[in-house]
């Protein structure tokens, strides 16, 4: 059964797909117990990990567990939109702490890890109870320090105009650092204490290309909203490791008029916290989890 994708059951929820190496790692660490039900293509039903030689060759004896539905029978059970449950002041406060950490350079990694832990804790994801972020400041501390230093260096042309070219040279480096942050954030998610095998697989050259397209689209005054939406959909397609796929459903016009309203509200200063939380709650609600099987079936039907 080598090179297969595995699913396992935790608290009644099917998680996966996982590679052979990944599920063995979870078994070795205790995140997946020998009594856990697992399933992969070719198996007629779920089986205990302790009874599958490829995963658990020790032959451990565990109590019987009731049979549950296979993954293809569970794929639509928990589909739905994401929700953000943060308040206006905590959203502003956390954002300022994050930016402040980057400005001060040294606290940047701690501020970033704290911000992502808070943000993930405020997300409500269908089928993923008690979602948490497990990343630590020491994971990629040099990336956040690099972002802070690049940010300072990019403004050198304001003091010395003859160094206008520095910002252009540093642009790919800055985008590369944010690409690493995205990969780090996606790979450090857990549900009820169980690590999720989520990963962002988007290639850096394409990611950089989207950034360039977005900045160029700003010259069109309104076209940036459609480019931003297309870029977000591409990002969603690069997320792997889940039995469901993440889709983004907002239109360019919806993003455009909401962004205009948010910008006008921020000009009044006082409404800023409420304007930002209104915009962020809408933005998060445009992300939806849908069954990969159902999506494949729909695509096949359309092709026919």
pLDDT tens digit string along 211-270?
Answer: 999 999 999 999 999 999 999 999 999 998 887 899 999 999 999 999 999 999 999 999
For residues 143 and 106, membership in a common domain is answered with: yes
| Separation between Cα atoms, residue 11 and residue 41, nearest integer Å | 22
Residue 37, in any domain of the structure: yes
Q: Which residues contact 214 (CB under 8 A, 6 or more apart)?
A: 224, 227, 228, 231
Residue 246, in any domain of the structure: no
For residues 97 and 177, membership in a common domain is answered with: yes
For residues 108 and 181, membership in a common domain is answered with: yes
Query: For 80-135, what is each residue's pLDDT tens digit?
Result: 899 999 999 999 999 999 999 999 999 999 999 999 999 999 999 988 888 999 99
How much of the chain exceeds pLDDT 90, in percent? 57
Residue 235, in any domain of the structure: no
For residues 45 and 141, membership in a common domain is answered with: no
Residue 16, in any domain of the structure: yes
For residues 93 and 134, membership in a common domain is answered with: yes
User: 155: which 2 tokens?
Assistant: 């403004």
Domain boundary among 200, 218, 243: 200
Query: Mean pLDDT throughout 291-296?
Result: 57
Residue 237, in any domain of the structure: no
For residues 111 and 164, membership in a common domain is answered with: yes
DSSP state letter for 220:
G
The total number of structural domains that make up the chain = 2
| Helix pair angle (141-154, 88-103), 10° resolution | 80
Q: Which residues contact 2 (CB under 8 A, 6 or more apart)?
A: 20, 54
| Separation between Cα atoms, residue 37 and residue 46, nearest integer Å | 6
Domain boundary among 166, 200, 234: 200
Three-class SS state of 256: helix
For residues 124 and 177, membership in a common domain is answered with: yes
Residue 153, domain extent: 87-200
pLDDT at position 138, please? Answer: 94
For residues 92 and 69, membership in a common domain is answered with: no
> What backbone torsions phi and psi does residue 104 show, to the nearest 5 degrees?
-85, -5
Q: What share of the chain is helix, strand, coil (3-state, %, to 5)?
A: 55, 15, 30
| Separation between Cα atoms, residue 96 and residue 225, nearest integer Å | 25
For residues 44 and 138, membership in a common domain is answered with: no
Model confidence at 155, pLDDT cuts 50, 70, 90, reads confident
Residue 259, in any domain of the structure: no
Domain boundary among 200, 233, 263: 200
For residues 63 and 107, membership in a common domain is answered with: no
Residue 279, in any domain of the structure: no
pTM of the full structure: 0.73
Residue 219, in any domain of the structure: no
| Helix pair angle (88-103, 272-285), 10° resolution | 90
Model confidence at 24, pLDDT cuts 50, 70, 90, reads confident
Q: What angle do CA 234, 124, 179 make, to 5 degrees?
A: 35
| Separation between Cα atoms, residue 109 and residue 174, nearest integer Å | 16
For residues 152 and 188, membership in a common domain is answered with: yes
Concatenate the DSSP letters of all residues of 33-91 into one string. -TT-EEEETT-SS-EEGGG-TTT-TT------------HHHHTTTT-EE-EE---HHHH
DSSP state letter for 125:
B
251: Cα separation from own chain's centroid: 20
For residues 15 and 94, membership in a common domain is answered with: no
Question: Parallel, antiparallel, or unpaired: how do β-strands 131-133 and 83-84 relate?
Answer: unpaired
């Amino acid at each position: 059964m080598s090179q297969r994708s595995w699913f396992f059951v935790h608290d009644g929820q099917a998680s996966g797909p996982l590679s052979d190496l990944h599920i063995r790692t979870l078994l070795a660490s205790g995140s997946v117990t020998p009594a856990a039900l697992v399933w992969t293509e070719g198996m007629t039903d779920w089986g205990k990990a302790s009874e599958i030689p490829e995963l658990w060759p020790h032959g451990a004896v565990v109590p019987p567990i009731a049979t549950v539905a296979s993954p293809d029978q569970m794929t639509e059970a928990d589909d739905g939109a994401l929700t953000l449950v943060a308040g206006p002041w905590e959203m502003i406060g956390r954002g300022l702490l994050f930016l402040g950490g980057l400005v001060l350079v040294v606290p940047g990694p701690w501020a970033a890890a704290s911000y992502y832990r808070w943000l993930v804790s405020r997300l409500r994801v269908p089928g993923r109870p008690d979602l948490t972020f497990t990343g630590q400041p020491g994971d990629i501390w040099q990336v956040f320090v690099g972002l802070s230093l690049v940010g300072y260096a990019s403004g050198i042309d304001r003091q010395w105009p003859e160094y206008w070219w520095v910002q252009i040279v540093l642009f790919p480096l800055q985008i590369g650092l944010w690409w690493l942050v995205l990969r780090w954030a996606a790979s450090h998610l857990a549900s009820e204490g169980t690590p999720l095998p989520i990963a962002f697989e988007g290639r850096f050259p394409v990611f950089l290309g989207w950034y360039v397209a977005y900045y160029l689209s700003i010259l069109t005054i309104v076209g940036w909203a459609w480019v931003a939406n297309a870029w977000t959909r591409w990002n969603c397609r690069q997320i792997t490791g889940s039995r469901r796929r993440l889709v983004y459903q907002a239109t360019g016009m919806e993003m455009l008029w909401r962004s205009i309203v948010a910008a006008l509200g921020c000009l009044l200063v006082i409404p800023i916290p409420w304007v930002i939380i209104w915009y962020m709650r809408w933005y998060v609600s445009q992300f939806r989890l849908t069954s990969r099987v159902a999506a494949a079936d729909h695509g096949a039907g359309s092709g026919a």
